[in-house]
Structures are given as C-alpha cells and as structure tokens.
C-alpha cells in the first residue's frame, strides 16, 4: 500500500532536523581533512585515519590533535574553525571502519611505487664499520638516525614515513635496510651511501616486513587488506599480492612475517585463523613483474602458470602468534590466543610437539637465547606479569621464573657478555632496565637511565662491548653503557627513539 504524502513529508522533515542537530562527520571530513588524509581516509600528506591504523591513539587524544594540531607538522589546529560538536563528529568518523574494505591490490601498489634516482654508493661514505652501524628509529618526529657504533656519533638523520612499525630489516650482506610503516609504506635505504633509494605502499595497515635468506624478496604482512605483498628487494617493485584466508576461505589479518634462513623460506603468523604458513623461496620464485596470486584479479602479466610462492599450511587447533624460533628453525614457540600458554610447533612435521603453561602473556618475539649450565635456553619477558621465564629449548620445559620490577617488552643477550638486559615496560618502574646474569639467572643490577621517564629496548654493539638503551620521550636519548662494568659511557639526544638495531646483531637474529 502506498504511503500517504503527509507521512512522507513528516519523515523528510524529521531527517532534516536530525542532520541539523548532529553535524555530518563525512561532510566535515570531505571539506576539512580529505586534502591531506585522503578522500577514503587512506592517507596522503597526513597519515591514514582508520580505526586499525589509529591503534593506540585514544579518541580523546585524537580530539586533542584536531583541536590543537601538531606543532612542527602540517597538521593544523581546528579550534576556532570547528566547534566541539563538529570535532566530536570527526572523531566518531575516524574510529568507524570504512563501509567497504578499501581496495589495495597490485594496481594500487604499483601506482605508489617510486625510486628516488639515487644510485647505491660504491663504497661506504664514512669511516666506520658498516656492520656495526645502528639504525635508531625515532618516532617523535618520524626520522631514523644512522649511528656509528664504534664512536657513538650520528652519521646521518633521514625522514621516514609516518609511524614506522616492526623492526627495520637488513639485506643479508648488511648493505641495505628496509623500513615498514604503520600505513604500509616500505622504504629502502643504502647503508653505504646513507640515502633513500625507493619506496612503495604495500598495504593500508601493515605489521612488518621480512627479507628472504638470499636477499631477493621482501615479504610484507598486512592487517588491511588481509594480504601479503611480495616485493623485489632490488627496487621494491611489487611482484605478487597474496590474499590471506584459511583453507575454508575465512580471511585473516597477518600478525607478522619472519625469514627462516636455514629453511630458505618465510614463516607467516596469522591473527584470526588457526594456521601458520610457510612460503618456500625456491628456484621457482622468479621475479616476474606484476605477477598476481591465483584469485587476484589483475593477473594480466602472468607468464608462468606454476605458482612461484606456494603456501604450505600448518593447521593448528587455535590461532598462535608472536613467534620465537630455535636456532636451527626446526621448532617455533608461539603464544596461544588465550594468552595462558605457549605451544611448540615442529615445522618439519607441521604439528604441535609440546605445550608450556605460561600465564603471563610471554612476549616471545623479543626473547633471547643463551647457554645455561650446558643447556640451550631462552628467556622471555611477559607483557602481563612481572617475571622472566627461562625455557629449555631442547626439552621444551620451563626451567626458571625470575621476578622483575614489572612486565617487560624486550630482552637482549649477546654471546660476548654474560649479562642480558631486559626492560620494565609497564607500571611504576617503567623507567628501569634490569640486568640478568645468564650464568646464575639472578638479576644483578637495576639501572634507571632517566628517573621518571620510560626506558626500554636494549641493543648491543657488534662485539657485545656496549649496550644501548632508549629513553622513550620526545626529548629523549639513546644511552650507551659499558656492557661489562654497566657504567654509563655516553648519552645521545634523540626524538622518542623507540628502537635501535645493530646491523650485525640483527642479521644473526630472528625476531623484530
Ligand atoms: C594540511 C594537511 C592536513 C589537514 C588539512 C589535516 N591534517 Fe590531520 N594530520 C596531518 C599530518 C601531516 C599529520 C601527522 C602529524 C605528525 O607528524 O604527528 C596529521 C595527524 C592527524 C591525526 C593524528 C594521527 C595519528 O595517528 O597520530 C589526526 C587524528 C588527524 N590528523 C585528524 C585530522 C582531521 C579530523 C582533519 C580535518 C578536520 C585533519 N586532520 C586535517 C595533516 C593534515
């Protein structure tokens, strides 16, 4: 039965009234923000404004940024331009997922690809050990500093994409470094010439990248879209986009990607489904430009019907992520989603071989291995408990629990020193780092580089003679300690130096 005209008119009036009461976030966005943050909120001069990308930025903080802008950046202050109701509508909008998942396939990735025109240097342009350089990630103003690890002097400071995410990764010879950002930008930098060579946007919201054992391929793991992107490590040209879904077709975010050099493969941790993937990098993994994976539509340039990046699925009972690999890469330890135990998965046979009850949410990705009483062990901090767990990685049993000042994030060890360093990342003692004697499994020293300010992320020099610790503040620092005497040697001012990565030590390690 047709609706009567007066009723329809009332309905229209009512909508018009509502529109006046609550400002239209989408219209305000199009008018004030789209030019920098992109029409679909995917980013532009400014970062992407999607809920996953905003991550730890809370709505109240987002409102503050919109009101006051960000000093020394292009983000303007809208106070006085927009009223509180409008700002509220914009905050609500940026924390609302887009109605349709934005497209980010081969065509978009290829269109974002750029080379800078710089040519890799023929020799290092500095007089320092190229394998003892550090890449310091400064998220305070989105730069990296390349630091001479012999003299602790900055060699160069370079701008990066907004909000780097996951550790930088070096080519197997240490010649190049690859960076990934929260918004999916991948950048390649020459570690001899200290210049940027190329960039590409491999996803909309990205977790991290890994470099294949032979240095030929970059694998990028994305949350949004649910995909893996394979790039040519030489110039970051996209080679393949692999949609991520389990055997039943349920899509999943990628938690992290890892290189497993002895296996000549990549290992992929999946967030939402009970599978782990292994992607062997064999002779069939050829660099065919524009090659797209099976069900990716723009596969116009496929020349070889054989799949160059075949996926081996390891089926599990529940999702696991945050991996630690044994040194031979036969077994990985992963955290079960329930957060109360760790499972050991044998990668050759493709199944679980042990389970360890560890209720404190171990942070396996930044655990470290060492020898203790003739046994191969690793120590892992916990994100929830004030403790370190020491695990025998041959028998897969917990051998000790060590109480710390608070939950921690990063632990680092080096074969040249008996001291492993762990940070306290949460709670009232977040300004402390603690030193573990790996011979006795006793904490022997607590160091507060800058009392009252969070300290974290330790990295050794190539020879293990010094340990570098970050003071995580906008006007922060990297503090250098003598790794034997534990005395402070030097303080280098940095803008929120969230992490620092030594070329030689990272080449020998697995995680981020
Ligand atoms: C002239 C360009 C420009 C305009 C216009 C602009 N922004 Fe920004 N915005 C930026 C840049 C650049 C940043 C990153 C600042 C930094 O480096 O921290 C940013 C950062 C932000 C952030 C913080 C993101 C994060 O992850 O930390 C929010 C939220 C934001 N903008 C919202 C808005 C909204 C809403 C509007 C419209 C009312 C708007 N912006 C208009 C350039 C702009």
pLDDT digits 0-9 by tens, 17-60: 454 567 999 999 999 999 999 999 999 999 999 998 998 899 99
Protein residue with least CA distance to atom 25, ligand 1: 54
- Does the structure show a pLDDT above 90 at 84? yes
Arithmetic mean of pLDDT, 92-113: 94
Burial (CB count within 10 angstroms: exposed 0-12, middle 13-18, buried 19+), residue 118: middle
* pLDDT tens for each residue of 181-230: 999 999 999 999 999 999 999 999 999 999 999 999 999 999 999 999 99
Protein residue with least CA distance to atom 29, ligand 1: 62
3-state SS track over 182-240 = CCCEEEEEECCCCEEEEEEECCCEEEEEEECCCCCEEEEEEEECCEEEEEECCCCCEEE
Q: Let me know: does 156 contact 178? Beta carbons within 8 Å.
A: no
Protein residue with least CA distance to atom 7, ligand 1: 75
Residues 6+ apart with CB under 8 A from 237: 110, 113, 200, 231, 289
Half-sphere CA count of 257, side-chain side, radius 13 A:
31
CATH 1.10.760.10 domain range(s) in the chain: 5-94
User: What pTM does this model have?
Assistant: 0.90
CA of 32 to the centre of ligand 1 (A): 10
C-alpha dist (Å) from residue 225 to 252, 253, 307, 342: 9, 8, 21, 28
Q: Let me know: does 473 contact 456? Beta carbons within 8 Å.
A: no
- Does the structure show a pLDDT above 50 at 311? yes
- Does the structure show a pLDDT above 80 at 511? no
Mutate to test the pocket of ligand 1, among 31, 38, 42, 47 (most ligand atoms within 8 A of CB): 47
**Helix axes of 25-32 and 84-94: crossing angle, nearest 10 degrees:** 90
Protein residue with least CA distance to atom 5, ligand 1: 33
Q: What is 81-143 written as a DSSP string?
A: TB-HHHHHHHHHHHTSPPSSPPP-SHHHHHHH-EE------SS-SSSS-GGGEEEEEETTTTE
Phi, psi of 445 (to 5 degrees): -155, 145
Phi, psi of 264 (to 5 degrees): 50, 50
CA of 49 to the centre of ligand 1 (A): 8
- Does the structure show a pLDDT above 80 at 174? yes
Lowest mean pLDDT among 95-99, 219-223, 357-361: 357-361
- Tell which atom from ligand 1 comes closest to the C-alpha of 78: 38
CATH 2.140.10.20 domain range(s) in the chain: 104-128+160-357
C-alpha dist (Å) from residue 272 to 68, 149, 207, 244, 386: 37, 40, 14, 10, 28
CA of 183 to the centre of ligand 1 (A): 14
- Tell which atom from ligand 1 comes closest to the C-alpha of 163: 26
| H or E element that contains 334 | strand 331-336
CA of 95 to the centre of ligand 1 (A): 14
Closest to 116 in 3D by CA, of 189, 210, 43: 189
CA of 186 to the centre of ligand 1 (A): 21
pLDDT of residue 10: 47
Query: Which superfamily is assigned to 362-512 in CATH?
Result: YVTN repeat-like/Quinoprotein amine dehydrogenase (2.130.10.10)
Residues 6+ apart with CB under 8 A from 79: 67, 68
Q: Let me know: does 128 contact 199? Beta carbons within 8 Å.
A: no
| H or E element that contains 267 | strand 265-270
* pLDDT tens for each residue of 223-236: 999 999 999 999 99
CA of 85 to the centre of ligand 1 (A): 18
Residue with tokens 């916990």: 382
CA of 46 to the centre of ligand 1 (A): 5
CATH 2.130.10.10 domain range(s) in the chain: 362-512
pLDDT of residue 300: 36
Protein residues with CB under 6 Å of any ligand 1 atom: 32-33, 35-37, 45-47, 49, 54, 57, 62, 65-66, 70, 73-76, 78, 90, 94, 142, 162
- Tell which atom from ligand 1 comes closest to the C-alpha of 33: 37
Q: Let me know: does 174 contact 132? Beta carbons within 8 Å.
A: no
Each as own residue / partner, the long-range contacts of residues 184-187 (CB below 8 Å, 24 or more positions apart, any chain) are 184/104, 184/220, 184/222, 185/161, 186/218, 186/220, 186/231, 186/236, 187/160, 187/161
CA of 74 to the centre of ligand 1 (A): 7
If you average pLDDT over every residue of the chain, what do you get?
A: 91
Beta bridge partners of 159: 143
CA of 144 to the centre of ligand 1 (A): 21
Beta bridge partners of 477: 471, 493
What is the architecture, at CATH level 2, of domain 104-128+160-357?
Answer: 8 Propeller (2.140)
pLDDT of residue 40: 94
Beta bridge partners of 375: 372
- Does the structure show a pLDDT above 60 at 288? no
| H or E element that contains 63 | helix 59-68
Q: What is the CATH number of domain 5-94?
A: 1.10.760.10
Q: What is 7-54 written as a DSSP string?
A: HHHHHHHHHHHHHHHS--HHHHHHHHTHHHH-TTSS-SSSPP-SHHHH
Q: Let me know: does 292 contact 106? Beta carbons within 8 Å.
A: yes
- Does the structure show a pLDDT above 50 at 401? yes
CA of 70 to the centre of ligand 1 (A): 8
DSSP state of 433: E
Mutate to test the pocket of ligand 1, among 75, 84, 160 (most ligand atoms within 8 A of CB): 75
- Does the structure show a pLDDT above 60 at 466? yes
Protein residue with least CA distance to atom 2, ligand 1: 36
């Amino acid at each position: 039965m047709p609706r009567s005209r007066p009723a329809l008119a009332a309905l229209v009036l009512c909508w018009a009234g509502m529109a006046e009461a609550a400002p239209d976030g989408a219209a305000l966005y199009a008018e004030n923000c789209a030019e920098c943050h992109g029409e679909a909120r995917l980013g532009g001069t400014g970062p992407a404004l999607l809920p996953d990308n905003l991550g730890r930025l809370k709505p109240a903080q987002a409102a503050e940024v919109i009101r006051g802008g960000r000093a020394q950046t292009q983000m303007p202050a809208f106070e006085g331009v927009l009223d509180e109701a409008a700002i509220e509508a914009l905050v609500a909008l940026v924390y609302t997922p887009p109605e349709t998942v934005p497209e980010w396939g081969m065509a978009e990735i290829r269109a974002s690809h750029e080379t800078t025109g710089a040519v890799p240097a023929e020799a290092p342009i500095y007089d320092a050990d190229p394998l003892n350089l550090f890449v310091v990630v400064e998220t305070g103003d989105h730069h990296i500093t390349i630091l001479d690890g012999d003299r602790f002097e900055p060699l160069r400071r370079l701008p990066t994409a907004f909000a780097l995410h996951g550790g930088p990764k070096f080519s197997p010879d240490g010649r190049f470094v690859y960076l990934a950002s929260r918004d999916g930008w991948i950048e390649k930098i020459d570690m001899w010439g200290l210049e940027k060579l190329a960039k590409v946007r491999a996803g909309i919201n990205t977790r991290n990248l890994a470099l294949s054992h032979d240095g030929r391929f970059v694998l990028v793991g994305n949350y949004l879209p649910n995909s893996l992107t394979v790039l040519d490590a030489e110039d970051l040209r996209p080679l393949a986009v692999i949609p991520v879904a389990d055997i039943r077709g349920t899509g999943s975010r990628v938690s992290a990607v890892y290189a497993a050099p002895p296996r000549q493969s990549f290992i992929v941790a999946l967030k939402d489904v009970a599978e782990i993937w292994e992607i062997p990098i064999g002779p069939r993994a050829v660099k065919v430009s524009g090659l797209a994976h099976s069900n990716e539509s723009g596969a116009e340039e496929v020349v070889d019907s054989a799949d160059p990046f075949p996926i081996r699925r390891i089926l599990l009972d529940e999702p696991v992520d945050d991996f630690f690999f044994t040194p031979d890469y036969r077994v990985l330890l992963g955290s079960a989603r329930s957060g109360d135990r760790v499972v050991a998965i044998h990668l050759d046979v493709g199944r679980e071989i042990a389970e360890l009850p560890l209720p404190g949410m171990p942070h396996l990705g930044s655990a470290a291995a060492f020898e203790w009483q003739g046994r191969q062990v690793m120590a892992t901090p916990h994100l929830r408990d004030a403790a370190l767990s020491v695990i025998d990685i041959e028998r897969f049993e917990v051998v000790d629990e060590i109480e710390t000042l608070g939950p921690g994030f990063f632990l680092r060890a080096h074969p040249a020193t008996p001291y492993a360093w762990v940070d306290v990342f949460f709670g009232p003692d977040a300004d402390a780092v603690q030193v573990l004697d790996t011979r006795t499994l006793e904490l022997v020293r607590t160091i507060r580089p800058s009392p009252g300010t969070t300290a974290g992320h330790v990295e050794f020099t190539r020879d293990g003679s010094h340990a570098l610790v970050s003071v995580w503040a906008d006007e922060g620092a990297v503090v250098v300690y003598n790794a034997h005497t534990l005395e402070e040697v030097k303080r280098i001012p940095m803008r929120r130096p969230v992490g620092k990565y030594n070329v030689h030590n990272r080449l020998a390690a697995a995680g981020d």
